[in-house]
C-alpha cells in the first residue's frame, strides 16, 4: 500500500472554512427574481392552495409585500395579474387600467429603484385560457402578435422596466420589439421566455393564475420536453428578433438545456424555477421528508452551476434569509 498513488481530494473538504474558500458557485440575493400575483378587490390575501406561502394580493396590500422584498435585498420582481373579467381576446391584458398596469404604477411610485418585470401573455386574461386568438378551435399565431405588442406597450407605459413575453407564438419577440420601439420605448429590454417546454410542472401556476386552458393543451406552441436542438433554434430566433435575456422554463429537469443555451448564446440566461418544482419541495418539507432549506439552496445552486445568470423563483425570500444566516 505504501507505493499506492492517488490524489487527495479530501484535503480541500477538511473544514467548513476550506470548503468555502474553494466553492465554485455562489448564490446572491441579486440572482433572484421574485414572482407576485396581483388581483382586483380590497383586503385580498388568499394563499394559493397548491403553493404554500404564495398569495394573491390586492393592491391595497401590495405595498407591504414589496417593502419586504426590497428590505431583503431582492432587486427585481415579476408581476402576474389575475383579472376579474376575461374575454376571448384578453382585452384586460392591454387595458391601461388593467390590474398589472395599476400594480406596476403603484410599485414604481414607491420603489423606483426596484426592477419591475411584466409578464406579457394573454392566458390569464382570456376566457378560454389559451395564450392567443382562437378561430375554429385553432390558436392563431399572427393575429395574436398584435395583441402581445399592445400589451407590452401598455406595460411599458405603466413603468415596467423589462417586458417578459411568455406566450411562445412565432415572432413574438420581433412584434414586441417593433411595438416598443415605435412607441418610444427603445431602452426597455425584452426578457423572452425563449425556451418554454409544454411541462406538467406548471400545474400549480395555473391554479395561481387561473389560466388553465378550457380545451386542449398548449403543445402546438410550447415545446416538446424531449427536444434539445429545438431549444437552441428557439433561442436563436429570439436572439435575432431582439431579445435581451433568454428564459429557460422549467429549470430543474432542463439543466442540460440551460447549459447549452448559455454556451450557445452568451446572453444573460434566466432559469425559471417553476411552480411544480416549488410545490413538490414544499409538500415534502411539510411532511418532514426533506430539509427544505438544504434542498432549496442545493436546487438553486444547481441552476447557477448549469449556467443561469438569474433565477426566477418562489423560494427567493426564504433563500435570501437562509443565505444571510450563513454569512
Binding site feature residues for 5-aminolevulinate: 206, 218, 275, 314
Hey, is 112 helix, strand or coil? Answer: coil
Q: How far is CA 327 from CA 17, 71, 169, 321, in A?
A: 12, 17, 44, 10
Query: For strand 191-196 and strand 162-165, is the pairing parallel, antiparallel, or unpaired?
Result: unpaired
Please give the annotated binding residues for Zn(2+), written as ranges.
121, 123, 131
253: CB partners within 8 A, 6+ apart:
199, 201, 225
Binding residues for Mg(2+), by number, are 234
Q: Is 215 helix (H, G, I), strand (E, B) or coil?
A: coil
DSSP 3-state of 177: helix
Place of cell 376571448: 88
Instruction: Could you list the residues known to form a binding site, using ranges.
Output: 121, 123, 131, 206, 218, 234, 275, 314
Q: Which residues are catalytic?
A: 196, 249
How far is residue 201 CA from its own chain's centroid?
A: 13
- Residue keyed to cell 445568470: 309
The C-alpha atoms of residue 277 and residue 184 are separated, in whole angstroms, by: 38
Neighbours of 258 (CB within 10 A): 27
Nearest to 93 by CA among 117, 115, 118: 118
Helices (H), the chain: 16-21, 62-72, 99-110, 141-158, 172-182, 203-209, 229-241, 255-265, 275-286, 292-306, 316-326
Three-state secondary structure call for residue 182: helix
- Please state the three-class secondary structure of 132-148 as a single string: CEEECCEEEHHHHHHHH
CA distances from 55 to 2, 61, 174, 296 (A): 62, 11, 33, 19
Amino acid at each position: 500500500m505504501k507505493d499506492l498513488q492517488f490524489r487527495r481530494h479530501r484535503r480541500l473538504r477538511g473544514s467548513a472554512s476550506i470548503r468555502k474558500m474553494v466553492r465554485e458557485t455562489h448564490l446572491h440575493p441579486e440572482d433572484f427574481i421574485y414572482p407576485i400575483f396581483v388581483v382586483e378587490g380590497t383586503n385580498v390575501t388568499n394563499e394559493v392552495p397548491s403553493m404554500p406561502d404564495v398569495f394573491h394580493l390586492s393592491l391595497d396590500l401590495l405595498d407591504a409585500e414589496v417593502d419586504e422584498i426590497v428590505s431583503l435585498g431582492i432587486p427585481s420582481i415579476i408581476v402576474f395579474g389575475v383579472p376579474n373579467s376575461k374575454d376571448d381576446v384578453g382585452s384586460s391584458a392591454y387595458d391601461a387600467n388593467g390590474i398589472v398596469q395599476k400594480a406596476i404604477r403603484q410599485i414604481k411610485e414607491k420603489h423606483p429603484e426596484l426592477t419591475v418585470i411584466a409578464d406579457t401573455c394573454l392566458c390569464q386574461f382570456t376566457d378560454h385560457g389559451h395564450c392567443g386568438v382562437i378561430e375554429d378551435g385553432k390558436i392563431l399565431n399572427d393575429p395574436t402578435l398584435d395583441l402581445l405588442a399592445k400589451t407590452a406597450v401598455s406595460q411599458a407605459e405603466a413603468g415596467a422596466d423589462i417586458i417578459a413575453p411568455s406566450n411562445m407564438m412565432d415572432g413574438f419577440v420581433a412584434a414586441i420589439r417593433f411595438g416598443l420601439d415605435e412607441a418610444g420605448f427603445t431602452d426597455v429590454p425584452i426578457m423572452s421566455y425563449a425556451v418554454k417546454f409544454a411541462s406538467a410542472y406548471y400545474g400549480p401556476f395555473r391554479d395561481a393564475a387561473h389560466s388553465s386552458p378550457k380545451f386542449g393543451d398548449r403543445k402546438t406552441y410550447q415545446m416538446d420536453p424531449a427536444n434539445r436542438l429545438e431549444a437552441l433554434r428557439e433561442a436563436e430566433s429570439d436572439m435575432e428578433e431582439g431579445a435581451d435575456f433568454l428564459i429557460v422554463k422549467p429549470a430543474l429537469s432542463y439543466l442540460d438545456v440551460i447549459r447549452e443555451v448559455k454556451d450557445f448564446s452568451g446572453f444573460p440566461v434566466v432559469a425559471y424555477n417553476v411552480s411544480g418544482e416549488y410545490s413538490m419541495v414544499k409538500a415534502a418539507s411539510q411532511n418532514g421528508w426533506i430539509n427544505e432549506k438544504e434542498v432549496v439552496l442545493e436546487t438553486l445552486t444547481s441552476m447557477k452551476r448549469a449556467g443561469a445568470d438569474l433565477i426566477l423563483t418562489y423560494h427567493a425570500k426564504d433563500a435570501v434569509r437562509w443565505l444571510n444566516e450563513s454569512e
